[in-house]
Amino acid sequence: MIAKPTFPRSSSLSITIAAALATFIAIGILTAVAFMFQRDGKPMEQLAAAERACVQRVYVSEREACMREWLAAAHASSVASK
């Protein structure tokens, strides 16, 4: 005796709703992650500019201190202009 399992057929409406829901959830997750990166991190443009401004420093500790000072000055001027 060979038994073949039979599964109930899904309607096209339920498949469409499931696909739309999955798409909505995926877009929501990607948007949330992008927003968190923009909110929590410093913009890469400012970090790159700080690295270029402090390239003459030889020691890593001096370079990091220079970058922190440069970013603080850039942030203070951007806040003052608002």
Residues 24 and 50 in one domain: no
Percent pLDDT > 90 in the chain is 40
Cα(50)–Cα(72) distance, rounded to whole angstroms?
A: 10
Cα(64)–Cα(75) distance, rounded to whole angstroms?
A: 16
Residues 46 and 76 in one domain: yes
What value does the mean pLDDT take over residues 67-76? 86
- The number of beta carbons lying within 10 Å of the beta carbon of residue 50 is 22
Report the domain count for the chain: 2
* Residues 71 and 42 sit within 8 Å (Cβ to Cβ): yes
Residues 82 and 50 in one domain: yes
Residues 46 and 81 in one domain: yes
Please say if the pLDDT value at position 34 is more than 70. yes
Where in the sequence is the domain holding 66, given as residue range(s)? 42-82
Mean per-residue pLDDT of the chain = 84
Burial class (CB in 10 A: 0-12, 13-18, 19+), 7: exposed
